[in-house]
Amino acid sequence: MSAPVSVMVVDDDPAVRSLLLRMLEKDGFRVLLATDGLNALSALENFPADIVVSDMSMPGMDGLDLLREVRRRRPDAKTLLITGNGSQLTAETALESGADGYLEKPFKQSTIVSALRGLLRDRRAAEQR
């Protein structure tokens, strides 16, 4: 049996963190929560996340800055940026900045789980090349 996929959820909104924790644990993911980008970077030292799910808009270090640091420190980790203030430009900026995926809030459990599983398939396909 393979180990559960580890996901770090980074969002300054406690309600969003709690919702994502419930959604992802229900689907078998191992989840660690972080309240902001600096907290997430510190936690990454001890929690080797397979996927980092981060809000784009947070005080201090925003999601794009966090994405750049995650890429530098954990280049094998997949990244999914989420936002409640989405637009085509926001999506393009996220993906051009190196995010592996992008979702607008609110989203359904099936949508986020499907997005995470897609990122994992992409990673496995890249590893087999």
Q: How confident is the model at residue 95 (pLDDT cuts 50, 70, 90)?
A: confident
Structure tokens at 37: 């980008």
- Six token digits for residue 5: 């996929």
Strand-pairing partners, residue 10, are: 34, 54
pLDDT of residue 37: 95
Residue 39: what residue type? N
Q: Are 37 and 13 in contact (CB under 8 A)?
A: no
Looking at the chain, the whole-number percentage of residues with pLDDT higher than 70 is: 94
Q: Quick one: pLDDT at residue 11?
A: 96
- C-alpha distances in Å from residue 116, one per residue of 60, 89, 92: 26, 22, 19
State the pTM of this model.
0.90
Q: Does residue 1 carry a pLDDT above 60?
A: no
Confidence at residue 86, expressed as pLDDT on a 0 to 100 scale: 66
Which superfamily does 6-121 belong to? Response regulator (3.40.50.2300)
> In the numeric block, which tokens belong to residue 2?
């393979």
Bond into 4 cis (ω within 30): no
